[in-house]
Structures are given as structure tokens and as C-alpha cells.
Chains A and B, each alone.
Chain A
Amino acid sequence: AQSVSQHNHHVILSEAASLELGCNYSYGGTVNLFWYVQYPGQHLQLLLKYFSEDPLVKGIKGFEAEFIKSKFSFNLRKPSVQWSDTAEYFCAVSLAYSGAGSYQLTFGKGTKLSVIP
């Protein structure tokens, strides 16, 4: 079964600092990769997704992620964070084929990001 590891439990940054959140997955086949964000008091929202195209994916609000297949990684980046980016970020993977187990998302444990004004 696939699994997802997020390296940082809680990251604290000052505004304008650069952000990189780590995500590694374990699965030998082709995958779809996602980053979801949960702002305080709100539901999970899709930040960006990778569907086997360009390995550098751009999402909403200036976020981007790079899929490095050889490292099984899909790290999330933002060059300059804002206070409004304070949220919990979840990396998720699904299997890229049509069959049993392919439709479920497997999530990491999440990384809380606190941005200090």
C-alpha cells in the first residue's frame, strides 16, 4: 500500500521568508500527487495537483511544487509567504490507474505553517 511522509510537523516563518515543505511517498508505480490546504476554521481546499505532465506544477496563491520521480518527492514551495498563508498543509497521493484502490487519496499527517507578521 502507498504511504506519504511529511517531514515537518510545524513550521514557523516570518512574513516574506521562503517556504519549502517536504513530502515523500512510497509506491513503485505511476501516481497522481496533490497538496491540499486547510485554513483555520475552513475545509480542505486543493492547492495544486500533478497528473503526469510537467513536473513543475503551479498552484493558487503563488504556490508551486516539483515532482522528482527519482526521489519520490513532491515538495511544496513559495518564494515569499504571507500571514494569510497560516494554515495546515497536506500532501496526498493517488494511484494513476483505473482499478481497485486507485480512487482513494492517501494523505500525509500534515504540516502546520505559522507565519509571523
Chain B
Amino acid sequence: DTGVSQDPRHKITKRGQNVTFRCDPISEHNRLYWYRQTLGQGPEFLTYFQNEAQLEKSRLLSDRFSAERPKGSFSTLEIQRTEQGDSAMYLCASSLASSGSPYEQFFGPGTRLTVL
């Protein structure tokens, strides 16, 4: 069973640097989601793709954040000019749109970002 995978698992960067994270969803899943989780909080929605189309973005997703899913398979999340407030766990999830259970999301292990 190949679940959702994320790379890297940990990233330490200096303030002002750019970082990029990758998410590989479960292979047949057409929906992909990015969430951010900070200490003591639950995950917060960032953005969502159906196939290659980015359909929703949260207000949390500032102009420094960009996400892509170029071929409807893997996705990347880039943060430009990182700030210390960007330090968080970045979670990816995927789901399969079907008549059965369109809203069940499967989560990956996350990428922990530390901005120094």
C-alpha cells in the first residue's frame, strides 16, 4: 500500500531563502490538498487541486506561497523569501472523487520546515 509521500521530511533554512516541497499522492487520487500545522494547532487548509487545476486557495496562502500540480499527479509547494513565521509542518493529503466518499482525505507524513 503506497500512501501519500512527501519530500523532504525535514527542511531547515535561513530567513529569506526559497524552499520547495514535493507531495506524491495515492496514485489513483485526483484531488490533492495542502495544509499547514503549527505547534498546538490542528492542520489549517492552504490549497486544493482537482487534477491539475488549483481550485481553492486559503487566505493563509500569501503571495510568497505558490503550489502547482503540473500533470495532475505530484504537487509542489514553494515558499519564497521565507520568514520565521513560516516554520510549521506542511501536510499533503489526497482523495478520490467518487460517489462513495468524496471527502475522505488521506494524509502524508508531512514536511517540517524550520526557518532560522
Looking at the assembled complex, report how far the CB atom of B5 sits from the nearest CB atom of chain A, in whole angstroms.
Answer: 10
Looking at the assembled complex, report how far the CB atom of A87 sits from the nearest CB atom of chain B, in whole angstroms.
Answer: 14
Q: What size tier do the contact residues of chain A reach?
A: 20 to 34
Segment of A55-63, A64-72, A97-105 engaged in the interface with chain B: A97-105
CB < 8 Å: which of B58, B104, B108 contacts A46?
B104
Q: Which residues of A contact B102 (CB under 8 A)?
A: 103
Q: Which residues of A contact B58 (CB under 8 A)?
A: 104
* CB <8 Å contact, B109 and A105: no
Q: What size tier do the contact residues of chain B reach?
A: 20 to 34
**B107 close to A (CB within 8 Å):** yes
Given A46-B104, A49-B101: A101 in contact with B56 (beta carbons within 8 A): yes
CB < 8 Å: which of A32, A49, A100, A108 contacts B42?
A108
* CB <8 Å contact, A44 and B107: yes
Q: Which residues of A contact B4 (CB under 8 A)?
A: 43
Query: What are 23 of the A-B contact pairs (CB < 8 Å)?
Result: A32-B103, A42-B109, A43-B91, A43-B110, A44-B107, A46-B105, A46-B106, A90-B42, A90-B43, A103-B31, A103-B48, A103-B55, A103-B102, A103-B103, A104-B45, A104-B56, A105-B33, A105-B103, A107-B42, A107-B44, A108-B42, A109-B40, A109-B42
Q: Which 3 A-B residue pairings sit nearest by Cβ, starting from the closest?
A: A107-B42, A104-B45, A44-B107
Q: Known contacts A43-B107, A43-B109, A105-B45; can you find 18 more A-B pairs with CB under 8 A?
A: A46-B104, A46-B105, A49-B103, A49-B104, A90-B43, A94-B103, A101-B56, A103-B48, A103-B56, A104-B33, A104-B45, A104-B48, A104-B58, A105-B33, A105-B35, A107-B42, A107-B44, A109-B40
